[in-house]
Amino acid sequence: MRAGACAVVGALAVMLSALAPAEIKRGPVKTPGSDVSAHKPAPQTTSPTRKPAPSAPSTTRKPAPSATRKPAPSALSTARKPAPQPRNVSKKPAPPPPAPPAAVNQYRRDPYVGALALDAVTGRILMADGADRLARPASVTKLMTALLVLEDVKAGRYSLQTKVSAGPMALKMEPSVIGFFEGKPPRPVAWSVDTLLYALMIRSANDAAVALAEHSAGSLEAFVARMNARAKSLGMDHTVYYNPNGLPPNASKRYPWKSYNVTTCYDQAKLAQEIVLRHKELLRYTSCKTWTMPNGQTIINHNNVMRMDKWKIVNPDGTEAVDGLKTGYIDAGGSSVVLTGRRRGRRAIVVVLGSASKDLRDYHASTMMRDALSAL
């Protein structure tokens, strides 16, 4: 029995020795510290050498961050903090919005309601645009007031040195005014007709117009009736006067007139012709850029075409062309002007009524006067 077992063990040993060489043919195993150059594998001939596939990532991972890391910000913490306010700075209220421009209506247009240029001597029309449209002349009205006063002086009803006081109505007038009180405490003062004409034409004084009107005709209403009668006699068929200064009606319910004065460029040109051809003495007042009153007060002419360099017209001989006549402005009627100028013994008249702005009025009036003087 023991002999049989030994025979079986010997047979198994022979079988294992036959299998061992087949397993070793796979090549030497690289071990740490071995000489790699002594065991180079044979080159591959069937396919190009490829980079070995990346090995699977190590299962050993970095330890998770510790619990001491800051927590993610909450929804409340992501809101931005308000910027710090400077200290000791008081907030000022926002300024009010600018006032809207005055409404443009049929009596106040861009660039104007009407315009006209003509030869003052012959009446030849040099340019006309809307010259028959009705307009509100504002202080241009004072040309008719001045004409009637000068006619009274020539007729001997009173003189330029006659003193004129202000009645209750004159004292109610809004600026521009010349004032009929002086000193401290204020005391009433009377001005000469000559002084009031300067105030009327240069300062455009509304109180001077009423004082002269009441002195000339005895009452405001009587003088206005004279104004309208004189307008008809000059052929100013589309002109109606309600007051001697051109102020709008019922301002703060202080004035008795019920409507606006109305006129046209053609009508104002007729009035201007009457003045420059038959009453040239009015140019003594209208041509002054500034004038000092007897009380030392200096008044400045509102006629920018005559006074301001950017609108001024100079003749080839160096003289200034424009020497009158009158400007005017009210919100409801825009800016107006009647100009007259001379060159080489000839004279032109320009009328611009109802401009939407003073600059538009002065630009067009100056341009038209330059063209008119060149055409004479």
DSSP notation for 82-144:
PPPPPTT-PPPPPPPPPPPPPPPBTTBBSS-SEEEEEETTT--EEEEESTTS-B--GGGGHHH
**pLDDT value, residue 370:** 96
Element (H, E) at 292: strand 290-292
Domains along the chain with CATH numbers: 114-375 (3.40.710.10)
- Which pLDDT band, with edges at 50, 70 and 90, does 160 fall under? very high
- Which pLDDT band, with edges at 50, 70 and 90, does 97 fall under? low
In tens, the pLDDT along 330-345 reads 999 999 999 999 999 9
Give the integer Cα–Cα distance in Å for 6 and 2: 6
For residues 313-334, give the mean pLDDT: 96
**Position 130 pLDDT exceeds 50:** yes
Q: CB-hemisphere CA count at 13 Å for 273?
A: 20
**pLDDT value, residue 105:** 84
In tens, the pLDDT along 194-236 reads 999 999 999 999 999 999 999 999 999 999 999 999 999 999 9
Q: Do residues 282 and 147 lie in contact, with contact meaning Cβ atoms separated by under 8 Å?
A: yes
282 against 17, higher pLDDT: 282
Which token pair is 111?
A: 């660039």
Nearest CA-CA partner of 303 in 290, 316, 294, 284: 290
Give the integer Cα–Cα distance in Å for 186 and 188: 7
In one letter, which amino acid is 230?
A: R
**pLDDT value, residue 217:** 97
State the chain's mean pLDDT as an integer.
82
**pLDDT value, residue 250:** 80
Give the integer Cα–Cα distance in Å for 17 and 88: 103
**pLDDT value, residue 353:** 98
**Position 6 pLDDT exceeds 50:** no
**pLDDT value, residue 253:** 75
Beta bridge pairs of residue 355: 109, 335
Phi, psi torsion values for 152, nearest 5 degrees: -65, -40
47 against 288, higher pLDDT: 288
Give the integer Cα–Cα distance in Å for 147 and 57: 114
**pLDDT value, residue 98:** 54
- Mean pLDDT lowest for which of 49-53, 225-229, 352-356? 49-53
Nearest CA-CA partner of 286 in 215, 351, 350, 203: 203
Give the integer Cα–Cα distance in Å for 322 and 213: 28
Encode 178-192: b = buried (16+ Cβ within 10 Å), e = exposed.
Answer: bbbeeeeeeeebebe
**Position 238 pLDDT exceeds 90:** yes
**What is the chain's length?**
376
Encode 334-366: b = buried (16+ Cβ within 10 Å), e = exposed.
Answer: bbbbbbbbbbeeebbbbbbbbbbbbebbbbbbb
87 against 313, higher pLDDT: 313
Give the integer Cα–Cα distance in Å for 228 and 257: 14
Q: Do residues 244 and 223 lie in contact, with contact meaning Cβ atoms separated by under 8 Å?
A: yes
